């Protein structure tokens, strides 16, 4: 009788400590400890992140194993984020994974965090290739052409900030807190998106730029506040809605260009910003326009999580792609 394939996934690339158990391709637990310590700084403080990972990682792994109802000895392999991400944070996850792999005498799999965001799509969907994926996170904005999970090509990407950063920085400018995406999105839901205009930049057809729109928000707020010191408070929902729609249109314009030219068999979004409702609706519109299946991750798999690391680990395990104990983390992709 063939034994079960049980993968323990570990993610610690930024400010979330997460562990998940995947049994024969099915997610049986996915536990994440968020780090509230960064909130008051309006962004992730790397040193605080690695310290919080150190205290969270063992309890989180423990809970993931217990929730899945398995024993340590049943685990077949460990998949861990090797990069890109914050160096100190990655080291905590990778070293923990190395120790467990050595102690339990099971293979170790190094996962690329961006590939894992794409792997999240495979948790709930049977994917049709070639697929065009818009990967939108706090650190990256890419258009990925995927012939299969392992054969991918970046056909477009941001030349400066990531779209998640454009949300986070705008939130900081308005004193709203971190992470900015969900905060802005919630406020935007009751605002008038046509009230203010924030212009797109001139890059393309598949590349993105978000530093200009962020700067135009900065100057706009500065000028309006000079006339009315209460301007932000009095118009918050409309500012958020107008800013959000500008970002979403900048994304969908390039996505549309690429779908039209490259003619994929399916489209998808992945990464933290794929939790955004306005983006999710815009992608469903593209799906209807081109009559293509669209894969949108379940909310729990949009932002950083270990289930996606374990899922990527499953493909790498099948391809027997392991790493050794001297493998190093990498901060950039």
The footprint of ligand KG4 (CB under 6 A) covers 14, 137-139, 164, 167-168, 179-182, 185, 271-273, 275-276, 303-304
Do 175 and 226 contact (CB within 8 A), yes or no? no
Do 267 and 118 contact (CB within 8 A), yes or no? no
- Rounded Cα distance between 61 and 32, Å, is 9
Considering only residues 259 through 288, tell me which ones interact with Zn ion, judged by CB under 5 A.
Answer: none
Work out the number of other CB atoms within 10 angstroms of the CB of residue 71: 10
Nearer to ligand KG4, 247 or 286 (CB): 247
Do 251 and 140 contact (CB within 8 A), yes or no? no
Binding mask 129-168 for Zn ion (x = CB under 5 A): --------x-------------------------------
Nearer to ligand KG4, 156 or 271 (CB): 271
Pick from ligand KG4, Zn ion, none: which does 168 bind, CB < 5 to 8 A by kind? ligand KG4
Give me the phi and psi of 216, to 5 degrees please: -65, -30
Nearer to ligand KG4, 167 or 315 (CB): 167
Work out the number of other CB atoms within 10 angstroms of the CB of residue 158: 22
The radius of gyration computed from the CA coordinates of the chain, to the nearest angstrom, equals 20
Phi-psi region of 191 (alpha: psi -120 to 50; beta: other; left: phi over 0): beta
Pick from Zn ion, ligand KG4, none: which does 167 bind, CB < 5 to 8 A by kind? ligand KG4
Minimum CB separation from Zn ion for residue 83, in Å? Answer: 12
Nearer to Zn ion, 13 or 252 (CB): 13
- Rounded Cα distance between 208 and 206, Å, is 7
Minimum CB separation from ligand KG4 for residue 164, in Å? Answer: 3
- Rounded Cα distance between 308 and 47, Å, is 25
Work out the number of other CB atoms within 10 angstroms of the CB of residue 296: 21
Nearer to Zn ion, 32 or 137 (CB): 137
Which one among 21, 268, 304, 317 touches Zn ion, defined by CB under 5 A? Answer: 304
Minimum CB separation from Zn ion for residue 117, in Å? Answer: 6
Pick from Zn ion, ligand KG4, none: which does 142 bind, CB < 5 to 8 A by kind? none
Minimum CB separation from ligand KG4 for residue 131, in Å? Answer: 19
Nearer to ligand KG4, 107 or 271 (CB): 271
Do 3 and 273 contact (CB within 8 A), yes or no? no
Binding site for Zn ion (CB under 5 A): 137, 304
């Amino acid at each position: 009788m063939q034994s079960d394939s049980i993968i323990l996934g570990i993610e610690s690339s930024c400010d979330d400590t997460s562990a998940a158990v995947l049994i024969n391709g099915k997610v049986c637990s996915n536990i994440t400890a968020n780090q509230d310590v960064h909130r008051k700084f309006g962004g992730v403080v790397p040193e605080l992140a690695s310290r919080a990972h150190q205290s969270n990682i063992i309890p989180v792994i423990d809970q993931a194993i217990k929730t899945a109802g398995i024993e340590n000895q049943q685990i077949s392999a460990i998949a861990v984020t090797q990069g890109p991400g914050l160096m100190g944070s990655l080291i905590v996850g990778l070293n923990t994974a190395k120790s467990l792999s050595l102690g339990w005498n099971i293979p170790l799999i190094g996962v690329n965090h961006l590939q894992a965001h794409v792997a999240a799509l495979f948790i709930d969907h049977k994917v049709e290739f070639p697929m065009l994926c818009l990967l939108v996170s706090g650190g990256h904005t890419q258009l990925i052409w995927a012939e299969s999970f392992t054969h991918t090509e970046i056909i477009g990407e941001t030349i400066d900030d990531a779209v998640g950063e454009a949300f986070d920085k705008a939130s900081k400018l308005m004193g709203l807190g971190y992470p900015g995406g969900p905060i802005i999105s919630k406020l935007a839901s009751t605002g008038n998106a046509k009230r203010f205009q924030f212009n797109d930049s001139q890059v393309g057809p598949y590349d993105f730029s978000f530093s200009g729109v962020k700067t135009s928000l900065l100057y706009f707020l500065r000028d309006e506040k000079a006339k009315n010191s209460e301007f932000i408070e009095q118009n918050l929902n409309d500012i958020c809605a107008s800013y959000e729609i500008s970002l979403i249109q900048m994304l969908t314009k390039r996505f549309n260009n690429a779908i039209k030219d490259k003619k994929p068999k399916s489209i998808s979004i992945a990464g933290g910003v794929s939790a955004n409702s306005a983006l999710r609706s815009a992608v469903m519109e593209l799906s209807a326009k081109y009559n293509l299946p669209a894969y949108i991750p379940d909310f729990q798999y949009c932002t950083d999580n270990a289930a996606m690391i374990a899922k990527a680990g499953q493909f790498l395990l099948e391809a027997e792609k392991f790493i050794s104990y001297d493998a190093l983390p990498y901060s950039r992709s």
